Amino acid sequence: MKKEKDCIFCRIVKGEIPPGKGKIKESDNFLAFLDLNPHAEGHTLIIPKKHFVTILDIPNTLAPELLKIIKDVASELMDKKLGDGFNVIQNNLEVAGQVVMHAHFHIIPRKDNDGLRFLVREN
Ligand code: AMP
Ligand code: ZN
């Protein structure tokens, strides 16, 4: 598993590389920015500023701040009419589809017939 110094999201937090397709907002402990390979316009990632690997590593004390930034980002996407609904998706470890080993939450705006399908059993 990649160490913090090699972590692309830690490098974004440190300002060493730009945040995907643009920063959306930040709070004391979290940063929200547009996904580099979005599934929909407005697809946003929310990450803790500290290097935690999965949701299990994020301290419970940060939960209210995390919920607030998730709700703020999702509300803004809805206000901008980028979606009529949204998914909050969070992958933990490789087998569950986690590619970047720094915990993150996907906020994905949804529209009717947008063709997106998540967690669909193939047989
Ligand atoms: P996951 O499969 O949950 O680990 O998702 C990782 C996400 O990070 C993918 O949607 C990528 O498009 C996104 N991503 C990877 N590198 C960057 C980057 N430098 N800036 C923004 N998003 C990124
Ligand atoms: Zn990291």
Pocket test for ligand 1, best of 34, 35, 47, 108 (most atoms within 8 A of CB): 35
**Within a 10 A sphere around the Cβ of 105, how many other Cβ atoms?**
20
User: What is the pLDDT, as a whole number, of residue 15?
Assistant: 95
Contacts of 28 (CB under 8 A, 6+ apart): 65
Tokens 């599934």: give the residue. Answer: 39
Could you tell me the residue ranges of all domains in the chain? 4-110
Give the tens place of pLDDT for each residue, 36-69: 999 999 999 999 999 999 999 999 999 999 999 9
Task: Write down the pTM of the prediction.
Answer: 0.95
Q: Using CA atoms, how far apart are residues 7 and 101, in angstroms rounded to an integer?
A: 7
Ligand 1 atom at minimal distance to the Cα of residue 34? 21
Residue 76 Cβ contacting ligand 1 at under 6 Å: no
Catalytic residue list contains 104: yes
Distances (CA, A) of 18 to 34, 38, 52, 97, 114: 11, 16, 20, 24, 28
Residue 87 Cβ contacting ligand 1 at under 6 Å: no
What CATH number should be reported for the domain whose range is 4-110?
3.30.428.10
